[in-house]
Amino acid sequence: MLSKGHAAPILYAAWAEAGLFDRTELLTLREISSDLEGHPTPRLPFVDVATGSLGQGICVAVGLALNARRIGSDYRTYVLIGDGESTEGSVWEAAEVAAHHGLDNLCAVTDVNALGQSQPTQWQHDMEQYAARWRAFGWEALVVDGHDLNALLDAFEKAKRTSGRPTMLLARTIKGKGISFIEGKNGWHGRPLKKGEEADRAIAELESQLVKLPEPAASPSLIARPSPLPPGPARATPRVPAPSYAPGEAVATREAYGTALVKLGQADDRIVALDADVENSTYSEKFSKAFPSRFYEAYIAEQAMIGSAMGLASRGAIPFPSTFACFLSRACDFIRMACISGLNVKLAGSHAGISIGEDGPSQMGLEDIATMRAEPNMTVVYPCDGVSTERLMEAIAYHPGPAYIRTTRPKTPVLYEANERFEIGGSKVLRQADQDTVTVVAAGITVYEALKAYDDLKAEGVLLRVIDAYCVQPIDARTLRAAARATGGRVISVEDHYAAGGLGDAVAEALADDGYVVRRLAVREIPRSGKSEELLDRYGISARHIVAAVRAMAAGVKP
Amino acid sequence: MLSKGHAAPILYAAWAEAGLFDRTELLTLREISSDLEGHPTPRLPFVDVATGSLGQGICVAVGLALNARRIGSDYRTYVLIGDGESTEGSVWEAAEVAAHHGLDNLCAVTDVNALGQSQPTQWQHDMEQYAARWRAFGWEALVVDGHDLNALLDAFEKAKRTSGRPTMLLARTIKGKGISFIEGKNGWHGRPLKKGEEADRAIAELESQLVKLPEPAASPSLIARPSPLPPGPARATPRVPAPSYAPGEAVATREAYGTALVKLGQADDRIVALDADVENSTYSEKFSKAFPSRFYEAYIAEQAMIGSAMGLASRGAIPFPSTFACFLSRACDFIRMACISGLNVKLAGSHAGISIGEDGPSQMGLEDIATMRAEPNMTVVYPCDGVSTERLMEAIAYHPGPAYIRTTRPKTPVLYEANERFEIGGSKVLRQADQDTVTVVAAGITVYEALKAYDDLKAEGVLLRVIDAYCVQPIDARTLRAAARATGGRVISVEDHYAAGGLGDAVAEALADDGYVVRRLAVREIPRSGKSEELLDRYGISARHIVAAVRAMAAGVKP
The interface predicted TM-score of the complex, written ipTM, equals: 0.95
Mean pLDDT (whole number) for B4-21: 94
Q: Do B39 and A374 touch (CB under 8 A)?
A: no
Residue B190 clears pLDDT 90, i.e. is over it: no
The whole-angstrom separation of Cα A57 and Cα A63 is 10
Question: In this prediction, what percent of chain B has a pLDDT beyond 70?
Answer: 96
Peptide bond preceding B474: is omega within 30 degrees of 0, i.e. cis? yes
Each residue's pLDDT tens digit, B366-379: 999 999 999 999 99
Q: Which candidate from B38, B500, B501 shows the least CB-CB separation from A358?
A: B38
Each residue's pLDDT tens digit, B511-532: 999 999 999 999 999 999 999 9
Q: Chain A partners of B493 at a C-beta cutoff of 8 Å?
A: none
Q: Where residue B216 falls among pLDDT bands split at 50, 70, 90?
A: low
pLDDT at A224: 62
Q: Chain B partners of A53 at a C-beta cutoff of 8 Å?
A: 326-327, 330, 362
Mean pLDDT (whole number) for B121-150: 97
Q: Chain B partners of A474 at a C-beta cutoff of 8 Å?
A: none
Residue A386 clears pLDDT 70, i.e. is over it: yes
pLDDT at B189: 86
Beta strands in B15-139 (DSSP E): 77-82, 106-112
Residue B210 clears pLDDT 70, i.e. is over it: yes
Q: Find the catalytic residue in A302, A375, A449, A495.
A: A302
Q: Which of A516-530, B178-192, B365-379 has the lowest mean pLDDT?
A: B178-192
Q: How far apart are the first and last CA of chain A?
A: 54
Q: Chain A partners of B258 at a C-beta cutoff of 8 Å?
A: none
Mean pLDDT (whole number) for B96-120: 95
Closest by Cα among B495, B368, B513 to A367: B368
Beta-carbon neighbour count of residue A279 at 10 Å?
24
Whether B327 contacts B364, CB under 8 Å: no
Residue A216 clears pLDDT 90, i.e. is over it: no
* Chain B closest-CA separation from residue A129 CA (Å): 7
Closest by Cα among B477, B481, B467, B465 to B550: B465
The whole-angstrom separation of Cα A554 and Cα B321 is 48
* Stated length of chain A: 559
Q: What are phi and psi of B57, to 5 degrees?
A: -60, -40
Residue A285 clears pLDDT 50, i.e. is over it: yes
Question: In this prediction, what percent of chain A has a pLDDT beyond 70?
Answer: 96
Task: State how far the alpha carbon of B170 is from the alpha carbons of B109, B115, B128, B143, B502, in Å.
Answer: 6, 15, 9, 5, 45
pLDDT at B52: 96
pLDDT at B229: 46
A interface mutation test: which of B92, B324, B475, B497 has the most A CBs within 10 A? B92
Q: Which candidate from A32, A91, A301 shows the least CB-CB separation from B531?
A: A32
Q: Is B302 a catalytic residue?
A: yes
Mean pLDDT (whole number) for A224-235: 54
Mean pLDDT (whole number) for B173-185: 94
Q: List Cβ neighbours of B351 (8 Å cut-off, separation of 6 or more).
A: B254, B281, B324, B325, B326, B359, B363, B364, B365, B407, B408, B409
Whether B403 contacts B380, CB under 8 Å: yes
pTM of the entire predicted model: 0.96
Beta-carbon neighbour count of residue B72 at 10 Å?
6
Each residue's pLDDT tens digit, A300-330: 999 999 999 999 999 999 999 999 999 999 9
Residue type present at position B133:
R
Q: Is B193 exposed, middle or buried (0-12, 13-18, 19+ CB in 10 A)?
A: middle
pLDDT at B220: 76
Mean pLDDT (whole number) for A44-51: 95
Q: Where residue A218 falls among pLDDT bands split at 50, 70, 90?
A: low
Residue B559 clears pLDDT 70, i.e. is over it: no
Beta strands in A337-453 (DSSP E): 346-350, 379-381, 403-406, 411-413, 428-431, 438-442
Mean pLDDT (whole number) for A201-227: 76
Q: Which candidate from B52, B119, B513 shows the least CB-CB separation from A559?
A: B513
pLDDT at B438: 97
Q: Chain B partners of A88 at a C-beta cutoff of 8 Å?
A: 89, 93, 300-301, 330
Q: Which candidate from A333, A371, A513 shows the least CB-CB separation from B327?
A: A333
3-class secondary structure, B43: coil
Q: Which helix (H) or strand (E) holds B141?
A: strand B140-145
Question: In this prediction, what percent of chain B has a pLDDT beyond 90?
Answer: 91
Q: Do A362 and B534 touch (CB under 8 A)?
A: no
* Chain B closest-CA separation from residue A18 CA (Å): 24
Residue B81 clears pLDDT 90, i.e. is over it: yes
Q: Is B22 exposed, middle or buried (0-12, 13-18, 19+ CB in 10 A)?
A: middle
Residue B415 clears pLDDT 50, i.e. is over it: yes
Residue type present at position A411:
K
Q: Do A517 and B511 touch (CB under 8 A)?
A: yes
Whether B369 contacts B380, CB under 8 Å: yes
Mean pLDDT (whole number) for B288-313: 97
Q: Chain B partners of A4 at a C-beta cutoff of 8 Å?
A: none
pLDDT at B13: 95
- Rg (alpha carbons) of chain B, rounded to whole number: 27
Q: Find the catalytic residue in B93, B140, B302, B367.
A: B302
Helix axes A302-314 and A332-340, enclosed angle (nearest 10): 10
B433 or B558, which is more confident: B433
Whether A519 contacts A559, CB under 8 Å: yes
Residue B233 clears pLDDT 60, i.e. is over it: no
A-B contacts (CB, under 8 Å) = 348
Q: What are phi and psi of B58, to 5 degrees?
A: -70, -30
Residue A83 Cα to chain centre, angstroms: 25
Whether A312 contacts B316, CB under 8 Å: no
- Ramachandran assignment for B187, one of left (phi > 0), alpha (psi -120 to 50 degrees), beta (any other): left
Residue B228 clears pLDDT 60, i.e. is over it: no
Q: Do A299 and B358 touch (CB under 8 A)?
A: no
Closest B-chain CA to A489: B515
Residue A229 clears pLDDT 70, i.e. is over it: no
Q: Do A370 and B501 touch (CB under 8 A)?
A: yes
Q: Which candidate from A367, A506, A512 shows the least CB-CB separation from B375?
A: A367
Closest by Cα among A379, A278, A268, A381 to A318: A268
Each residue's pLDDT tens digit, A410-464: 999 999 999 999 999 999 999 999 999 999 999 999 999 999 999 999 999 999 9
* Chain B closest-CA separation from residue A364 CA (Å): 10
A130-135, long-range: CB < 8 A, 24+ apart: A130/A83, A130/A86, A130/A168, A130/A170, A131/A170, A132/B136, A133/A86, A133/A92, A133/B136, A133/B137, A134/A95, A134/A168, A134/A170, A135/B136
